Each structure stands twice: as structure tokens, then as C-alpha cells.
Structure 1
Amino acid sequence: MIIFKYAEPLARYIQQQKAAGKQVGFVPTMGALHNGHIALIDQSKQATAVTVCSIFVNPTQFNNPNDYQLYPQTIEQDIVKLEAAGCDALFLPSIAEMYPQGTTGLEHYDLGYLETLLEGKYRPGHFQGVCQVMFRLLSMVQPHQLFMGQKDYQQCMVVSRLLTLMQSPIQLITCPTLREPDGLAMSSRNMRLTPEDRQKATAIYQCLILIKQQLNQGVFWPVIKEKAEKMLTDAGFRIDYVELADANTLQPATANLATVYQGARVALIAAFLHDVRLIDNMLM
């Protein structure tokens, strides 16, 4: 695996690969890699000839500075995992490489209603930061295919919107969420959970299962939502949201939505265990 710290030699490497007729896959990460990330590397390796991974903890997408400071960084272990997975190239830029003019007064992207609900509502500015870093990464890497995980459901929709705004031919591939044996969605933030909170964290997955079962039984959404919220608060969570939405638009389900609704739906949860914020979702 070749490690690049600067965009220019990375671009030369990628151009060489493309000149040889090779398809390039890209997996952007913030490090603290787990098996969910490695599954994205595997997907890219199956679909493309050259897989590039990036590790960059992007300061502009953290609306909570404390969260940025506490984000786990395990670069040496990450490199070992990527080499074992057969990743071809790792892009490991500095903040100065990504934002040579600094991180203030950056461009603004028209994301429409996507940044007014769910994650957009509870983390103001977060998706602008995601687009700022993804625009730079995609411009530097210029892959054929981009691989992202379904756990960040709304983020995948935002990146899809960004690709449209960029008029980019890059194909976004959304891969299923990988889970621990007890159902907890794999996440770098899980490293910050105490052993006791790690056990409690499974309540999010149990809530999603409950929602799915109750919807299939024809129970009305407001009743299900109340049960799910009680399950989370009883487990010690502080809830940001428990919502049911249209899987294609993320527009929220209305109060009278029952099983007669035929479109694809997604249940989405965000909640805190002490100072660790966890998110998860499940297609219904």
C-alpha cells in the first residue's frame, strides 16, 4: 500500500492507473477503522481495480468542538488493517493540505431541506462541513466509484446531492451497515463507550427491531414512536430523534401513516449515552 500525504503525487498516481485502463474506487474515512470500513474496502476491491482510502478527521463538520477533540485516532492500527485488507493507496492529508486558506469563510452548498431535518436540524453546519471536505477529496481522488456505509443514511443522501451539484460522473455505492453480534452498528464512536454503556447501547438496535415489528402489525406510528422513545430513555439515553421517514426523500411520516403506505420507509434514531452520540437506521 502506498501512503500519500499530498494531493499532487496522489493525483499523478491515479492518472497512471486510469491511463492503464483501471477503474478506481474510493473509501473516505475519519480513521479509527473497524470491520464496517474494511467491508467498504472489500466492496471497492470487488468492483474496481484500484482502491484508495482516505483518513482525515475533518474539523469543519464538527458542530461540537469537544467532539472533534475526543474523536478517536488510531492511525498505526488503521494502516495495519488497510494493508491486511489489500488497500492500494492511503491518502493521509493534513488540515493545511485540505484547507490551505484556512477553515473559515468556506463555500456554501445548496442542500435544500436535507439540512433542516434529522441530523441537519440537530447538528447545524454539519452537512456543509461534509460537503466542503468531500468536494475536496473527490476533486483530488477523482474516483469512478465512491463507497459509503448506510449507517450514515442522511449523509449518503447529502453526498448524492453534492455529486449532482458538482455535475460529477462518480457513482455512489451505499453499502449495508455492519453490526456487532449483539446488533450494535459498528462505529468509531463505540470506542468511547464505557463497558457499561457499551451494553446499554444495544437498545438502539432493539428499538429499530421493535419499530419494524410494530409497523408490520399495523400499529400506528405515534404509538410505536412513544414505545421506542420510552425504551431508549429507560436504557439511559438522551434522545435527539426517533423518526420514520420516506426512504427516498427523508420527508417525515405523518401522524396518520399506517401500513397502507406502500413506499419504502426508513426508521432513524440519534441519541446520547452520556457524551457519546450514536446514530442508526433500518429500512422498514
Structure 2
Amino acid sequence: MEVLRNKKTLQDFIERQREMGKKIGFAPTMGALHNGHLSLYEAARAENDLVISSIFVNPTQFNNAEDLKKYPRDTNRDIKILETSGLVDAVYIPEVQDIYPEKAESQPYDFDGLENEMEGKSRPGHFDGVGTVVEELFRQVKPDNAYFGEKDFQQLAIIKKMTEKKHLHINIHGVDIYRAENGLALSSRNQRLSENRREDSKVIYETLVKVNDWFRTVSIPEIKERVQDIFDDQAGMQMEYFMIADEKTLKETDFFYKDKSYRAFIVVMVDGVRLIDNMHLD
């Protein structure tokens, strides 16, 4: 596996691969890799000649400086995980100046309102940061296909919209949420929880399963009350929000329409660690 530590090295590598006619699959990450990330590379491996990872903790998508500071970083560990997996041909580990040559600041984007829903309400500018770093990585890596987990469903929708509006000829693929045996969605943030609290946090997934069971037979206001009751009974957990939204617009709904697809979204603070999850309702 090639380890590419600056933009020039990456560009030389990409140019060689393109000359050989390789189809490139790409999944960017912020490191702290786990099996959820590897599931992206499994999907990419099946559809491409070459699979590239990137590791870059993007400063412009953190609203909280303390959260950025606490974000887990262990590049050597991540490289070893990628090498052992056998799924990745190269990993790009840029410096800040490779992504932001002048100043580490995000560019403004119009995502047709997707950025104003859910996470966007409490994290202003967050998706401008996401759009900026992903667009720059796309322009540097030049992939044919890019892969993102559905755990960050809003981010996936944002990236699809950015790719469309910027006329980038890249196919964006959503990959199913990778879950622990107890159902908890895998996340780099889970490392900050004790083993017992990770087990306790399975209630998030169990609640979404219940919501899917209640879907179309219980009113949305009643579903929301039931979900709130569940987390009112959980010590050390605080539900930040729960909502059911149209999968296309991400706008919250209070009523089910037969011709639309819906997804339940939830954010829970567990001992100060922010966990997000979602589930398609069928």
C-alpha cells in the first residue's frame, strides 16, 4: 500500500494510474478507523481497479474547538489497519496546507436547503466545511466512484448535491450503516465511551427498530412522545433531537404520505459524547 503524504506525491500517483486506465474508488476519512470504514473499502474494491483512502481531520467542519482537539488521532494505527485489510491500494494523508494552501477556512455553498435541516440547525457552517474539504479532495484524487456511510445520511445527501451542482463527474455511493453486534452504529467517537456505556448505548438502535415497527400505525407526535419517554429513563443520556424526515428533502414531517420515503434520525449525548444514528422506515 502506497502512503502519500503530500499533494504532489498524490498527483504523481494518480497520473500514473490514469495512464494505465485504472478506475478509481475513493473514500475520505478523518482517521480513527474502524470496521465501518473498512466496509466502504469493501464496497469500493468490488467496483474499481484501484481503491484510495484519505485521512485528514478537517478543522473547518468543527463548530466546537474542544471537539476538534479531542478528536482521536493515531495515524500509524490507521495505516496498519488499512495495510492489514488488504482492501486499499493507497492512502493520502495531506497536511493542512495541501488542502488549504492559504487559510484554513471554508467556502460558502448552496445545497438547496439541505444544509439548514437537522445538523445544520445546531452547527452553522458545518456543511460548508464538509463541502469545501470533499470538493478539494475530489479535485485532487479525481475518483470515478466515491463511498460514504449512511450513518451520516445528511452529509451523504450534501455531498451528492455538491457533486451535482459543481458538475463533478463522480458517482456517489451510500453504504449501509455498519453496526456492532448489539446494534450500535460504529463511530470514531465510540472510542471515548467505556465498554459498559457502549453496551448501554444499544438503546439508540433498539429505539429506531421500535420506531420502524410503529411506522404508519402510530401518529408521528405519539412516536416522538414514546421516544422521548425511552430516553427520559436512560441515566447519563440526553436526547438532543429525534425526528422523522423526507429522505429527499430532509425536511421534518408530521404526517406520512404514501408517495414519499421517510427516515428516522436521532442524536443522543452519552456521557458527553454525541452519537448519531438513523434508519430508513419501511
TM-score range, shorter chain: over 0.9
Deviation string 1:232-256 (CA, Å, 9 cap, x unpaired) is: 23213222210101112212112xx
> 2 CA distance for matches of 1:146 and 1:233?
39
Letter in 1 for 2:232: T
Letter in 2 for 1:52: I
Residue of structure 2 equivalent to 1:92: 93
2:268 equivalent to 1:271: yes
Give every structure 1 segment of 4 or more consecutive aligned residues whose post-TM-superposition deviation is greater than 6 Å: none
Q: Secondary structure at the match of 1:172?
A: strand
Residue of structure 2 equivalent to 1:60: 60
Q: 1:96 deviation in Å?
A: 2.0
> 2 CA distance for matches of 1:207 and 1:261?
23
Q: Secondary structure at the match of 1:112?
A: coil
Letter in 2 for 1:227: R
Q: Which 10-residue stretch deviates more, 185-194 or 111-120?
A: 111-120
> 2 CA distance for matches of 1:36 and 1:176?
9
Letter in 2 for 1:6: N
Deviation string 1:145-198 (CA, Å, 9 cap, x unpaired) is: 001000000000000111012101100010100100000001000001123322
Residue of structure 2 equivalent to 1:32: 32
8 Å contact 1:207–1:232 — kept in the other structure?
no
8 Å contact 2:267–2:276 — kept in the other structure?
yes
Residue of structure 2 equivalent to 1:111: 111
Q: Secondary structure at the match of 1:177?
A: coil
Residue of structure 2 equivalent to 1:134: 134
Residue of structure 1 equivalent to 2:41: 41
Deviation string 1:106-138 (CA, Å, 9 cap, x unpaired) is: 421112321211011121111111011111111
Residue of structure 1 equivalent to 2:277: 280
Q: Which runs of 5+ in 2 are unaligned?
A: none
Residue of structure 2 equivalent to 1:101: 102
2:231 equivalent to 1:232: yes
CA RMSD in angstroms comes to: 1.3
> Percent of counterpart pairs with the same letter?
37
Residue of structure 2 equivalent to 1:220: 219
> 1 CA distance for matches of 2:238 and 2:63?
18
Q: 1:263 deviation in Å?
A: 2.0
Deviation string 1:25-73 (CA, Å, 9 cap, x unpaired) is: 0010000100010111111111100001000010100001111111111
Q: 1:17 deviation in Å?
A: 1.1
Residue of structure 1 equivalent to 2:191: 191
Q: 1:93 deviation in Å?
A: 0.8
2:158 equivalent to 1:158: yes
> 2 CA distance for matches of 1:233 and 1:169?
46
Q: 1:266 deviation in Å?
A: 0.4
> 2 CA distance for matches of 1:110 and 1:84?
40
> 1 CA distance for matches of 2:64 and 2:202?
24
Q: 1:6 deviation in Å?
A: 1.1
TM-score with structure 1 length normalisation?
Answer: 0.95
Letter in 2 for 1:226: E
Deviation string 1:3-31 (CA, Å, 9 cap, x unpaired) is: 11111221221121122111000010000
Aligned residues: 279
Q: Which runs of 5+ in 1 are unaligned?
A: none
Q: 1:207 deviation in Å?
A: 1.1
2:146 equivalent to 1:146: yes
Letter in 2 for 1:102: K
> 1 CA distance for matches of 2:133 and 2:191?
24
Deviation string 1:181-228 (CA, Å, 9 cap, x unpaired) is: 000001000001123322221111011011001115x11011011111
Q: Secondary structure at the match of 2:113?
A: helix
8 Å contact 1:41–1:85 — kept in the other structure?
no
> 1 CA distance for matches of 2:22 and 2:224?
48
